[in-house]
A = this chain, B = another copy of it.
Amino acid sequence: MIGRFQPFHNGHLVLVRQILKECNEVLIVVGSAQSNYTFANPFTAGERILMTRMALEKGGLDVSKIFIIPLIDEEDNARWFSLLLSMLPPFDVLYSGNNLVFALASPHKEVRTPRFVRKKQYNGSYIRKRILRGEGWSNLVSDAVFDFICEIDGINRVRLLAKHENVESSKSIELQKGYYRKW
């Protein structure tokens, strides 16, 4: 299962639970590991690894069945899947609702489409915008994630980055930055 986890939210948690019903173990891949301190990627790979682990534990999941692995980006899409194979323990199934991931991975592995829950709210971009605008977002993430983001002063970080990048209309920023990411 692959994501940027900016931040790790309840939709991700639902997904992990769902996969653990079908598989013995889950590999959670923290994508765009080299990106941080931007509005689209405010948190470092290390921070995202930690918030993911804490959300899993808080959610009562058995972390001994879960691997959390950071992965840097690869511009050559045709080579992206080989990066997964090099950096991850052997795996059998890939869970993704992303068409590009499907196109790149399905010649090599089974790809299953997960059932997403509350896709509009459980959405990293949506959550970052709520943080930016001072709207409530604590119900969209694990308590552990919320507390950790507060502790590292993440709310001010998100706002500072939005200001720095002239994010006025959140729509335009997504079009500009995020639109051809794999996740």
B82 touches A69 (CB 8 A): no
| Contact residues of A between 21 and 46, Cβ < 8 Å to B | 33-39, 44-46
Residue of B nearest to A173 (CB): B179
State the number of copies, please: 6
| Contact residues of A between 73 and 93, Cβ < 8 Å to B | 75-79, 81-83, 85-90
Residue of B nearest to A108 (CB): B108
Size class of A's contact patch? Answer: 35 or more
A81 to chain B, nearest CB (A): 7
Give A89 to B176 CA distance when docked, in angstroms: 29
A residues neighboring B (CB under 8 Å):
33-39, 44-47, 49-50, 53, 57, 63-64, 67-70, 72, 75-79, 81-83, 85-90, 98-100, 103-104, 157, 160-161, 163-166, 172, 175-177, 179-180
What are 24 of the A-B contact pairs (CB < 8 Å)? A34-B76, A36-B86, A37-B100, A37-B103, A38-B77, A44-B87, A46-B87, A46-B90, A49-B69, A50-B89, A50-B90, A53-B67, A64-B64, A70-B87, A72-B72, A79-B79, A79-B83, A79-B86, A99-B163, A99-B164, A100-B160, A100-B161, A165-B180, A166-B179
